[in-house]
Amino acid sequence: MTETTRTRTGAAGAAGATGGAVRAGAGSALRHTLGERRIALVAWRLLVLQNAHPAVAAGVGQLSTYRNHPWRRIEHTMDSGRRLFFSDREALHREIQRLERSHRRIAGTDDQGRSYTALDPAVRVWVLVTLYEAMTALRALSGRPLRPAQLDRLYREFREVCAAFELPDELFPPTAADVPGYIRATIRDTLELTEAAQDMLYTVLTRAPAPRRLGRLRPAWPLLRRLVARFLTALTLADLPPEFRAKFGLPRSRSAAALSWVVHHGARAVAVQLPDRLRYRTPPSGDPGRPRQAEVPRQARAPRPRRDNRPGRIAAFYRQVMDQTGDGRLTSADFAAMAHNVCWPLELDQAGESAVYAAFDSWWHHLSAATGTGGDGGISCEEFVTAMLAGIDRDPDYLDQGLHTAVRAMFRAADRDHSGLLDAEEYRTLFGGSRVHPAELTHGFRQLDTDGDGQITEEEFVRGFTEFFAARAESVAGTQLLGRP
C-alpha cells in the first residue's frame, strides 16, 4: 500500500466527507489570521524553522537562489500560501500539482551522505505544520494567544486544506493540543542548525539586493540593509521556540525580548484600528480587491548613443537574471532555477513545465560548449560576456542556438490561449508579481509591442531579447528589458 492510498482519518476525514479539500470561507479563522499583513513579522522565524530540517536545507542548498533573491523567496512563499488557502478547490489542486512537479526535481544526497527528496511525506508535513504554528505564535507573541476552542477551529480549517495534499494522516498531530508536542519532538529529534538556517538568521539579509519598490530610498539601501538585518536577526532569535534556542545555544538577550514585545504588541494595536484594505494583504474574502491601475509611464528621453554598451548590459543581465544562486558562477542549477521562475506564475501542466526546463537546459549546454568549459566549475561573468559577444559578432545565428530556445519556450508557456500572441495580461503574468510596479510592466510591454497593436508576437518577443544582447547603442527598445534607463 502506498503512502498516498492509506486511509485518512481525523480532521482530514472530515474534509473527505465532502469530496476533498474544503475551501475556507470568508469568515474563517484561518483566513483572518493568515491574511493579515503582520504575519510577515513571523515569516523569517518560519523560514528558519523550516530550513533547520536537514532535508529542507539540502533541497534549498541544491537550488539556493534564496541567497541572491531572498525577497523573491518570500514572495513565492506568500503567493503559494494565497493560492492554497484563499482560492477555490480547483485552484487549490492546481497549486498542489504545481508544487509537486517543482518538488519532484529536488532530490539527492546531502553533504553527510543522507538521501533526501522534497516529496518525503514527513518533510512536507513539517513544512505545513510550521505554517500553522507560525499563525498561533503570532497571536501569542502579540499578547492575545488563541483560546483552546479557537485553536481547535483554526487547526480544523487548516487540516481541511491540507487534506488535498493526500499525505498520511498519522504524520500530522491529531489535534491542535498535540501541535506543541509535535514541534518540540521534531526540534529535539530531527532539526539541526543547518547552513541554510544559519544563513537565514545571520547572513542572507546582510547582502540582500534592494527590494524592487524601495523607490527613492534605494541609494540608502546599503545602510538600511544593515539595520534591517540586525532587526530581523534580533526579532527572530527572540521569537524562536525556547526548545530551539536551548538546543542550539542561541541567545535571547533582554533587548531582543523587549524588541519582540514592542513590535508584536505595537503591530497588534495598530492593526485592529486599520480598515481591512490596509490590515490584510489578502482580504479574508479571498478577493484581491480592485487591481491597482498601472501608471502611464513618462516618455523617457532617449539616451545619447554610445560606442558599444553591450558588455555592461550583458554583465548586468548575468548578475540580475542568470546568476540565480549568487555565487558568481553559472551552473546547470542556475538555469534550472530560471526555468522554475518562469513556470512558477503560469500554472503549467507537466508537459508545459518539461518543455521550459528542456529549453533552459539546452541553453546551458550551448553556453557550456561556447565557453569551452564544459560547465566544469561554472561560468564566470567575464567568460559569459566574452562568449556572448564573440558568438554574436562571429555568427548571426548564434543566439538561435541557445538563448532563443529559452526565450521561445517562455513565450509559448505564457501564451495560455495558444493564440500565437501575448496580450498585456499574459505578459504581466510572466514578468509581473507583487515586487514589480505596474508602470514598469506597462512600459516593458509597450517597448516590445513594436507595431503598437496591443499584442506581442513571438518574433517581437524574440527581437526584444536579441536587441538587448546585440544592439551596440541603448536607443532601441529591447535594450530596456531590465527597466527604463
* CATH numbers and ranges of domains, the chain: 3-279 (no CATH), 310-480 (1.10.238.10)
3-state class of 136 per DSSP? helix
Give the separation between CA 44 and CA 203, rounded to whole angstroms.
Answer: 13
- Weakly modelled stretches of the chain, pLDDT under 50: 1-23, 289-300, 302-303, 305, 485
Instruction: Give pLDDT, residue 3.
Output: 35
Question: Cell numbers at residue 133, please?
Answer: 504554528
Which residues, including other chains, have CB under 8 Å from residue 193's CB and lie 6 or more apart? 52, 248
Instruction: Give pLDDT, residue 59.
Output: 86
Query: Could you tell me which residues are beta bridge partners of residue 117?
Result: 107
Which residues, including other chains, have CB under 8 Å from residue 8's CB and lie 6 or more apart? 16, 163, 166, 168, 169
pLDDT per position as a tens digit, 156-203:
999 999 999 999 999 999 999 999 999 999 999 999 999 989 988 988
Give the separation between CA 11 and CA 17, rounded to whole angstroms.
Answer: 10
CB burial class (10 A; 0-12, 13-18, 19+) of residue 366? buried
Give the separation between CA 463 and CA 473, rounded to whole angstroms.
Answer: 15
Which residues, including other chains, have CB under 8 Å from residue 426's CB and lie 6 or more apart? 414, 415, 416, 417
Give the separation between CA 480 and CA 302, rounded to whole angstroms.
Answer: 11
Which residue shows C-alpha cell 494595536? 269
Instruction: Give pLDDT, residue 210.
Output: 77
Question: Cell numbers at residue 149, please?
Answer: 476552542
Instruction: Give pLDDT, residue 230.
Output: 92
Under 8 Å between Cβ of 66 and 147: no
Which residue type occupies 468? F
Which residues, including other chains, have CB under 8 Å from residue 327's CB and lie 6 or more apart? 67, 378
Give the separation between CA 388 and CA 384, rounded to whole angstroms.
Answer: 6
3-state class of 472 per DSSP? coil
Instruction: Give pLDDT, residue 182.
Output: 97
CA angle at 362 for the pair 361 and 364, rounded to the nearest 5°: 65
Under 8 Å between Cβ of 136 and 153: no
pTM: 0.68
Helices and strands per DSSP (H, E), number in the chain: 22, 4
Which residues, including other chains, have CB under 8 Å from residue 429's CB and lie 6 or more apart? 345, 346, 414, 416
CB burial class (10 A; 0-12, 13-18, 19+) of residue 457? middle
Q: DSSP string of 217-283?
A: GGGGHHHHHHHHHHHHHHHHHHHS-HHHHHHHT----HHHHHHHHHHHHHHHHHHTTS-HHHHBSS-
Instruction: Give pLDDT, residue 146.
Output: 94
Instruction: Give pLDDT, residue 431.
Output: 80
Positive or negative: CA dihedral 29, 32, 38, 39: positive
Under 8 Å between Cβ of 405 and 362: yes
Give the separation between CA 45 and CA 200, rounded to whole angstroms.
Answer: 9
Angle between helices 54-62 and 121-141 (to 10 degrees): 100
Query: Could you tell me which residues are beta bridge partners of residue 330?
Result: 379
Q: Pairing state of beta strands 107-109 and 115-117?
A: antiparallel
Instruction: Give pLDDT, residue 310.
Output: 83
